[in-house]
Amino acid sequence: MPNRTPGDRLRPHIDDQELSCESPSKRVNQFPFEHVLTVKDLLALVCRRGCCGQERLVDADSLSSRPPWLPTTYNLQTELPHFVSYYQQRQKRCV
């Protein structure tokens, strides 16, 4: 692969040709060790960490979440109190 560009995704651990020949009618949306891209709560966590660091994820005045392009997302197993607080604030403001 001498003509690699910086945007190329290199996956040397996946043989796409072999995969498509063995299972031509199947579609794969996840490859080994790439689960962060397809699991919604992990994707949201990575996006929030990359954007906001330790900043508050929800603006107290507008109740908008950060980053602005990511819909407000909570993992109910780990963020239930935050979700309940967010819900109650929205209910109080009739939003």
From first to last of its 95 residues, what are the pLDDT tens digits of the chain? 556 565 555 555 556 667 677 777 776 655 566 665 566 777 788 888 888 776 777 888 888 888 888 888 888 888 899 899 999 999 999 88
* Residue 94 lies inside a defined structural domain of this protein: yes
Total domains in the fold of the chain:
1
Structural domain contains residue 74: yes
Predicted TM-score (pTM) of this structure: 0.53
Q: Please check whether residue 63 is in contact with residue 86, taking contact to mean a CB–CB distance below 8 angstroms.
A: yes
Q: Is residue 15 part of a domain?
A: no
Query: What is the domain extent for residue 85?
Result: 56-95
Q: Which amino acid is at 62?
A: S
In terms of C-beta density within 10 A (0-12 exposed, 13-18 middle, 19 or more buried), how is residue 87 classed?
A: exposed
| Rounded distance between C-alpha atoms, residue 84 and residue 77, angstroms | 12
**Per the domain annotation, does 38 fall within a domain?**
no
Per DSSP, the three-state class of 72 is coil
